[in-house]
Amino acid sequence: MNIGEASKSSGVSAKMIRYYESIGLIPEAGRTVAGYRVYTMTDVQLLRFIRRARDLGFSVEKIEELLALWQDRSRQSADVKQIALQQIAGLEVRIREMQAMMDTLRHLADACCGDHRPDCPILADLVNGPDHGSGAREEDQQSAPRSGKAAGLQAH
């Protein structure tokens, strides 16, 4: 099986298959005489594993751990579970951060009449900061630390 077919039947792009190989996430594929990569169904299964884990939001680093456990016949399911729980916790944090943003934005948008006039509580909030909001709405998020880590939350 060439890389194209492996890609199709695993759902991982050829580009990413090469990338995963380059970073050592998957072993180096066999090659034909001409240098083409060759894949077996076992390799495809590995790629599907990775694909599925990516779909669940795992980072490549975590996937490395998961793969190691998968291939370790004497693993303890507790170790797998712990990785999953960590992942859940991370998702929870980021969801809460985004939820907080959304709540704030909703309140601001609700307060904005959205007509032809220039006056806008949304801009007012951006200028003055949350502390000057009329409703002191953002008390909900207790002491949001302004960490700068929230930066990872835009769409990109």
Residues in touch with DNA (CB under 7 A): 2-5, 13-16, 18-19, 29, 32-37, 54, 59-61, 148, 151, 154, 156
Binding-site member from 88, 134, 139, 140 for its own copies (CB under 8 A): 88
Structure-block tokens of residue 141:
């998020």
Restricting to residues 32-71, which ones interact with its own copies according to CB under 8 A? 45, 48-49, 52-59, 66, 69-70
Considering beta carbons, is residue 73 or 156 the nearer one to DNA?
156
Residue linked to tokens 């916790």: 89
For residues 29 and 14, the answer to whether their CB atoms sit within 8 Å is no
Crossing angle of helices 3-10 and 41-55, rounded to 10°: 50
For residues 64 and 93, the answer to whether their CB atoms sit within 8 Å is no
# residues near its own copies by CB under 8 A: 70
Q: Cα–Cα distance between 136 and 122 in angstroms, integer?
A: 14
Which among DNA, its own copies, none contacts residue 130 (Cβ within 5 to 8 A by kind)? its own copies
Buried/exposed code over 98-124 (b: 16+ C-beta within 10 A; e: otherwise): eeeeeebeebbeebeeeeeeeebbeeb
Strands 37-38 and 30-31: antiparallel
Structure-block tokens of residue 35:
């240098």
Q: Residue 30 CB, nearest distance to its own copies (Å)?
A: 22
Restricting to residues 101-130, which ones interact with its own copies according to CB under 8 A? 101-102, 104-106, 108-109, 112-120, 122-123, 125-127, 129-130
Residues forming contacts to its own copies in the complex (CB under 8 A) are: 11, 13, 45, 48-49, 52-59, 66, 69-70, 72-78, 80-82, 84-85, 87-88, 90-92, 94-95, 98-99, 101-102, 104-106, 108-109, 112-120, 122-123, 125-127, 129-130, 144, 146, 148, 150-156
